[in-house]
Amino acid sequence: SPSVTGCQITRMSETTPQLESPGPIRAYAVALAVIALGCAVSAALTVGVGRWDVVAVLAAGGDAAEARTIRISTRVELSGSLIPLAMAAVLFGPAAAAIVGFASMLSDRRGPAERFVIFSCGRAIAGAAAGAGALLAGTAHMGPGLGRLLAASAAAAFLATVVEFSVTTLTL
């Protein structure tokens, strides 16, 4: 396969820098994977996952939304994958949102394996945080109704965004 000094060509149209020492980035990827798995499993055991059929549809929707990102600069892309993640968080809690978050990254396999692990597990952690926030906001003393749903949705979206931004900032 063709190669250029200091680069790895994954496709003729795309190059990714080769890491001199993958140790630290690999350790970071493993740490995120352990955190994501721990969050998802503990949430599934305590709160449950919800309806698997609905979670699967939301996961497919998240993956489809992530596959159709909009590039707004050389380093920033936007997608609508937060919407199915927040819906899973509000409807079913942290485990379902973590599953939807992870699944939303399945079609984005650009670059080395560590990149996929970091961003997919970061999205799973964001989903778990969103689900926890939605649970806390949704159980606040507001009574049933639209206010409770809006509070849970706002908490989910805010926490997912904060975690995503944090993982991305630490990674880049």
Instruction: Return d(Cα 14, Cα 7) in angstroms, integer.
Output: 10
11: confidence class by pLDDT, cuts 50, 70, 90:
very low
Closest-CA residue to 66 (of 15, 129, 156, 126): 126
Tokens of 164: 């995503």
> What pLDDT shows up at residue 142?
64
Instruction: Give pTM, 2 decimals.
Output: 0.81
- Amino acid in the structure at residue 165: F
Dihedral-angle region of residue 25 (phi above 0 means left; psi in -120 to 50 means alpha; beta otherwise)? alpha
> What pLDDT shows up at residue 2?
47
